[in-house]
Amino acid sequence: MPNASSAGTIDVGGDLTVNRFGYGAMRITGPGIWGPPADKDQAIAVLRRVVDAGVNFIDTADSYGPSVSEELIAQALYPYPDDLVIATKGGLLRPEPFVPWPADGRPEHLREVCEGSLRRLRIEQIPLYQFHRPDPNVPFEDSIGELVKLKDEGKIRHIGLSNVDEEQIRAAQRLTPIVSIQNRYNVDDRASETIVDLCEQESMVFLPWAPIQDLDKNQTIHEIAERHNASARQVVLAWLLGRSSSMLPIPGTGDLAHLEDNLAALDLELSQAEIASLTRA
């Protein structure tokens, strides 16, 4: 059976070693990332299968549900395995399903949602807390400054950023060590290509969100998949692992069959030429 340990390990913040194949827990919620899942038992089973498969890095956010994803993680997995690292995020609002998620980077909001995540996850310290998206109406330094205060209070162990550019990364680094970046990245969306390289150079973890997109449009993916008798999803995930040593893929699903398909990517070995061809594609 595939096991995440076969992907090797990566250090988060220099002191949290995890297998380099994680899980994103957004899709265990209801339609529109809102409310409980249609099949709660399956969502619980997915989370437990994730851990059984050696995945010891789970990414979530207070906005997933909202709150539902964090609550399900605790229900399924608490008390947690000693090596499990749960990363969560704050800084977005969820007024209702199927509408844009507005940013809220006010210090008082970040403190409120961080403390809410601590309660829902049933932990005293969040291993990795990520600022979900900069708020254009709040000075970036004010938002990061509040996360620094929460870290100083012991409520956060490490700070990460999401949906940021290099200028914002540098601004945050002037205030505190930044250990991870979570940006949109996949075969067809390379806007963060230089950020991936920056993470590799500076020992930050890069967490690609939306890693599996528009697979039907890319002929190179399907040619490689046919060659290996693999699915397109598996090829894309194997490419991410080969793209950079800083990459920590976090594919998410609320479906057991999709989860097994994702895990099977761990047994797929792409050649350097295949990785290069996808990187160029």
Output the pLDDT for position 182: 98
pLDDT digits (tens, 9 = 90+) for 14-60: 999 999 999 999 999 999 999 999 999 999 999 999 999 999 999 99
Place of tokens 């046919």: 226
pLDDT for res 281: 72
Compute the average pLDDT of residues 88-103. Answer: 97
The H or E element spanning position 19 is: strand 16-19
Per-residue pLDDT at 181 exceeds 80: yes
Cβ atoms of residues 160 and 114 within 8 Å: no
On the question of pLDDT at 216 being above 90, the answer is no
104, two tokens = 């809220």
Lowest mean per-residue pLDDT among 13-17, 131-135, 211-215, 270-274: 211-215
Q: Is pLDDT at 215 greater than 90 in this prediction?
A: no
Looking at the DSSP bridge assignments, the partners of residue 34 are 65
Q: 152: buried, middle or exposed (CB in 10 Å: 19+, 13-18, 0-12)?
A: exposed
Residue 229, by phi and psi: left (phi above 0), alpha (psi -120 to 50) or beta? left
Q: Which residues does the annotation mark as catalytic?
A: 64
Cβ within 8 Å of residue 270, ≥6 positions away:
224, 228, 235, 238, 239, 242, 278
On the question of pLDDT at 212 being above 90, the answer is no
- The mean pLDDT of 256-279, rounded to a whole number, is 95
Whole-angstrom distance, CA of residue 79 vs CA of residue 32: 29
What are the two backbone dihedrals, phi and then psi, of residue 151, each rounded to the nearest 5 degrees?
Answer: -65, -45
Q: In CATH, which superfamily holds the domain spanning 4-280?
A: NADP-dependent oxidoreductase domain (3.20.20.100)
Please say whether the beta carbons of 278 and 187 come within 8 A. Answer: yes
pLDDT at 277: 93
Q: Is the pLDDT of residue 156 over 90?
A: yes
Amino acid sitting at position 208: P
What are the angstrom distances between the C-alpha of 190 and each of 18, 32, 195, 245, 279? 25, 26, 10, 17, 9
The sign of the torsion formed by the CA atoms of 210, 215, 219, 221 equals positive
Average pLDDT over residues 80-85: 98
- Calculate mean pLDDT across residues 229-242: 95
